Structures are given as structure tokens and as C-alpha cells.
Amino acid sequence: MVREIMLPFDTALLEVLVDMVFIVKVEEDFTFTYAFFNHVAIEKTNLDQNAIGKTFSEVHDEELSILLNDEYGKVLNTNKTTTYEDSYKSPSGIRRYSEARLTPLFDKTGAYTHIVGVVKDVTNEKVAKLESEDSWNKLVESKSRYRSLFENNTDAVFTTDLSGVILSGNTAVEKISGYSLDELKGRALIEFLDTSDPVFSIKSFQQVLEYGLNDQRITFLEKLGASVSCLVNFTPIEVRDKVVGIYAIVKDLRELDDMSNKFVESEKHFRIIAKNAQDVIVLINDKQEYLYVSPSSNQIYGYDSTEYTAKSLSWHVHLEDVSRMEQNFVQALREATTCSIRLRIKHKLNGWLWSELKATPVYDARNKFKHMVIIIRDITLQKKHEEQLEYFAYRDFLTNLPNRRFFTDQLLMELDHFQNGGNGFTVFLLDIDHFKGINDQYGHEIGDCVIIEFGRRLCGSIPKDAIAARLGGDEFILLLPKVETAELAKETAINIQRAMEAQWSIKHTTLNVTASMGISLVLSTEATVSTILKNADNAMYDAKKSGGNSFEILYNR
């Protein structure tokens, strides 16, 4: 019997993470109880150590406990890591936003034991995005109001003679000036323009006569004394190739100026948010050229924001990730949705960093693309942690050999390769002879040492391309690619026997350890995982009946 193995977590490591970490135990009735959470979780939630050992419903209100049971239940149902987004109130009552990643853990038998939840606080990026979208939406709304005013109300058009005396105008003239058309006729246009240049009108008209066109930014003085910011376009009136007068087309720019001020204010707010965000915030145009990069790029990737000038987005993205990134961008633009991708981004000094990139396209009121808002986060530590979790999910904790789950995956791939024209292969099933007697006589500590040493000797006596795994207890299994004959299989079996015959001395105890081996030679493409393992098991049973320390071969034909 093998000892209970402690969970592969270094609580000291978990305590230094900036993210909240929850380790939840999966009970036999598939309920969930808290087994551990780090100090970050305590600081950012209402949890304390009294929650350890309690279920979600015992700790949280009904709404939250239902949500947690559903999300953690998905991990058990799908057998995969899942993510979800949520919001919560901190102990101080502030609304926080989070992104949780739930990863299952298994024991040596492949059964669920715990689920690790890594919860990131994404409040800054969420608020930055909401604030940015709100600012841009306000700007679009202002533009829409101005566009509606411009399209549904024609500009004021004055008709003057060559000296600038008003002869006539359209109905919009009355709106911009406050005067009736009759009050304007016969008066010089210059009377209604606020300019410090006394010959402004004369110069403008002379330019119209010489060049045919002139735009001027002026201030129009309306009847009640208010100043109206306008843009004037002077166009000559030609009759039979002779200039007889001038059109003065006056655009009311008050709303446009107000919109511009709002834009400046919106941009100011966006830059304040971006400057203080923990992640990198980027704006790019339709050519993937940088419009803006937040100052946090220096702290996270070592590049000052000015170093991005005149570069495309892919300039420091790993070559193997560029195509995938661009495909995600195309899909996001086509579907007007946010895309999320993990890729490698180069740090100026520290090499490639695994990063998470979320890109959201922004469109104007006419559904025309304006820019892409991108949030980039360094997930190197998270990636390393996930890789460690994945490693432990496929390893035997006692021997550090691959476990049953890993071996089954490899066997499926080898069988698929064989059925598609590859070579035949062989599977060995091994069982230590009289192992129960070793445990009973010398204790489980010696028994564990025997299993560890057996795995070490086994790995040293098989071909380099072979895969050795521990199924559990004192059972081991081998996958030998390209071993297609009984002769090659016997040669490997003899090598294993010789390795086990060497003297065993464990904790000053001398032992005699042998093994029974069942060999399943796979020569038929009709074979299945089930038939292969059944043949190996039957062959091992025959070896056991013959007294042990032997091997038997069965063929899958």
C-alpha cells in the first residue's frame, strides 16, 4: 500500500502571488469545501480562516454559492480547466471585477481531489475599458448631433458684390445672424465679422478673385451681441466667364468646437486611466500601427512608449504567434467582438514573456472602424504555475513517472499512428512479485522505497523511446514503439529481469525483488486499447501462475 501523498503546493509560493488563490476540496458527494486560500484572497474578500473546511453555501449567500457551485461543477463535468468572469464587493464595499481560472487536480487513481482557483483582479483594465468606451461613445454622440444639425440645416450662404456688400442669403443666414434677410441686405459683410485686420475683407476678396477659393476661420457677431465661431468659404460667382460677385458660405462651428473640447477632455481622462493601469493599454489603427501605448509598457516590457513609434504591432511578438494573432484580429473585426489570445512578447532585456492580449474593435456611428483597444498582461508566472499543475496532473507523485492518464493518451496516439500506416508496437504490464509480503514484513516506508527503486531500474533497462508509467500500487506498464517481434520483446524482458536481479539494499535491509511481466504484441490494426491491455493482463496472470519472475507473450492479431 502506498502512503497518502501531500498536495504539490508550496504555500509560501502561493502567498507571494498577487492574485487570489483558492484551493477547494472535492468531497465524495461532489460538494466543495475550502481547503486553502492565500492572504490576497483574505484581503480582497470577506473570507477568513473560519471558512476552511466549509462549503460554499455555509460561507456565502445563496446567489454567490449557486454561482460558485455551477462554475466549479463545470470543471468536473468537462474534465478541463475553465474560466469565468465575476464581480464582488471588497471588505471596504468597493465593487471589484475578477477573472477566475479553475484547474482540476487528480490523485494517483485519476480521481478528482481538488480544484485550484486563480482569481485575477481585473478592475483596473475593466474600469479603463468602460471609461474609454464611455468617453468615445460621448464623442460619437456629440459628432452625431453635429452631423444631424449640419445635414438637416444648410450652411448660411451670403451673396455679395465684389466690394462685399450683402445682396441676398438663404434661410440659414437668419439662423446664424439673428437678423432678418431684409436687415442684412445692403450692409457690408465685414460689419458682422470680428477681426483685428481692418482690410480682412478686401484681402479675402482679392484672393478669391486671384485664386478662386479661400477658407477663413472667423468670429461672426450675431444680432444679440454673441460671438459665433465660424468657418467662411469664399467662392466667386461667375456669369459668362466673368466674376460678378462672391458667395460667402458660413459654417457655424460652435458645436464642433464644443465637441473638440470634449474630445480633448475625454483623451485626458483616457490617458490618466492608461497611465495608472497595471497592464499595458494600446490603441492601433487599421494598419496595426500604434496610436497610443501606456507608460506601463516600460515597467512590464522594458520599452519606453516612444520606442513603439513607426512600428507595427507584431514587431516584438514571437514569430510563431504572429499569424495566430492576426487571425484573431480579423475575426474580431469581422464579428465586432473582443478576442483573447495568449502569445509571447519580447522584453527588452529578459527575453520572451508569456502574455495575454485582449483586443476590442471600436466603431463610429456609421459602423466604420476607428481603432482597436488592446489590453496586454504579463502572465509568465501564471503560465509557469499552470504548467506545473498540468505536469502534476500527469505524473505519479511517488515515482515521478507518468501516470495512468498520461500513458493512456500516449497509447491512443501510438495505436492511431499504427492504424494509419505506422509500425506495430508492444505493451508490457509488470507486477512486483510478493509485494504485499514486503509491506507486511518491513512496513510501508520500505514498500514505498521498493516501488521507487523498481521504477528507477525499470527506466534504466528499456530503450530510450520507450515510455514507462506507474498504474498504481505495485503495477507498472511499458509502451515500446517499433517493437514488432517476439524476439525484440523477449530481449527487453530479459534486460528488465537482469536489472532486478542486482542486489537490493534499502535502509539497511537486503531484499530479493522480482517481477511478473505480461507482454501484449500489437500486430493487428483491429486492436483496441481495451484488447491490448486485456492481453497484457492475461499474459501477466499466466506469468504469476508459473511462479513469478517470468514473462508471457500474447499476440494482438
468-527 tens-digit pLDDT: 999 989 999 999 998 999 999 999 999 999 999 999 999 888 899 999 999 999 988 899
The residue with greater pLDDT, 45 or 498, is 498
Mean pLDDT of the chain: 83
Residue 5's SS3 state is: coil
Q: CB-based contacts of 528: which residues, under 8 Å, 6+ apart?
A: 415
11-121 domain in CATH 3.40.50.300? Answer: no
Would you say 375 and 323 are in contact if contact means Cβ atoms under 8 Å apart?
Answer: no
pLDDT digits (tens, 9 = 90+) for 55-88: 988 988 888 889 889 988 888 888 888 888 887 7
Residue at 361: amino acid letter = P
Q: Which residue has the higher pLDDT, 463 or 171?
A: 463
User: In whole angstroms, what separates CA 181 from the centre of its chain?
Assistant: 63
Choice between 234 and 447, residue whose per-residue pLDDT is larger = 447
> Residue 8: what pLDDT?
47
Query: What is the C-alpha to C-alpha distance for residues 337 and 321, in angstroms, rounded to an integer?
Result: 20
Question: Residue range 156-175: average pLDDT?
Answer: 85
CB 56 within 8 A of CB 69: yes
Express each pLDDT in 5-32 by its tens digit.
Answer: 344 455 555 665 678 888 899 888 888 9
Q: What stretch(es) of the chain map to CATH 3.30.70.270?
A: 396-556
- Does residue 358 have a pLDDT over 70? yes
- What pLDDT score does 427 carry? 96
Domain 396-556 sits in which CATH superfamily? Answer: Reverse transcriptase/Diguanylate cyclase domain (3.30.70.270)
C-alpha grid cell, residue 122:
481585473
**pTM of the shown model:** 0.41
* 52-61, 139-148, 258-267 — most confident range: 52-61
Band of pLDDT at residue 320, cut at 50, 70 and 90: very high
What pLDDT, on the 0 to 100 scale, is given for residue 556? 76
Within 481-557, residue ranges assigned H as helices are: 486-501, 529-545
pLDDT at residue 4 is higher than 70: no
| DSSP-assigned letters across all residues of 343-391 | EEEEETTTEEEEEEEEEEEEE-TTS-EEEEEEEEEE-HHHHHHHHHHHH
pLDDT more than 90, % of the chain = 29
pLDDT of residue 254: 73
**How many other CB atoms are found less than 10 A from the CB of residue 88?**
16
> How much of the chain, in percent, has pLDDT values that exceed 70?
85
CB 277, CB 261: distance < 8 Å: no
Lowest mean pLDDT among 302-316, 441-455, 543-557: 302-316
Residue 177, pLDDT above cutoff 70? yes
Residue 136 reports pLDDT greater than 70: no
What's the CATH superfamily of 150-257? PAS domain (3.30.450.20)
Q: What would the mean pLDDT of 339-347 be, rounded to a whole number?
A: 91
Dump pLDDT digits (tens) for 417-476: 999 999 999 999 999 999 999 999 999 999 999 999 999 999 999 999 999 999 989 999
**What are the grid coordinates assigned to 504, written together?**
537490493
Answer yes or no: is pLDDT of 42 > 60: yes
DSSP of 440-470: HHH-HHHHHHHHHHHHHHHHHTS-TT-EEEE
State residue 474's pLDDT score. Answer: 93
Cα→Cα distances 172→169, 350, 448, Å: 8, 64, 95
Name residue 456's amino acid. R
Listed in order, the ranges of the chain carrying CATH 3.30.450.20 are 11-121, 150-257, 278-384
Q: Which long-range contacts (CB under 8 A, 24 or more apart) does 213-222 make?
A: 217/253, 218/193, 218/194, 219/193, 219/194, 219/195, 220/176, 220/177, 220/192, 220/193, 220/194, 220/250, 221/192, 221/193, 221/194, 222/176, 222/177, 222/178, 222/179, 222/192
Question: Cα 141 to chain center, whole Å?
Answer: 31
pLDDT of the residue at 87: 78
In this model, does residue 151 exceed pLDDT 50?
no
pLDDT band at 294 (very low <50, low <70, confident <90, very high): confident
Whether 184 has a pLDDT exceeding 70, the answer reads yes
pLDDT of residue 189: 82
At the top level of CATH, the class of 278-384 is: alpha beta
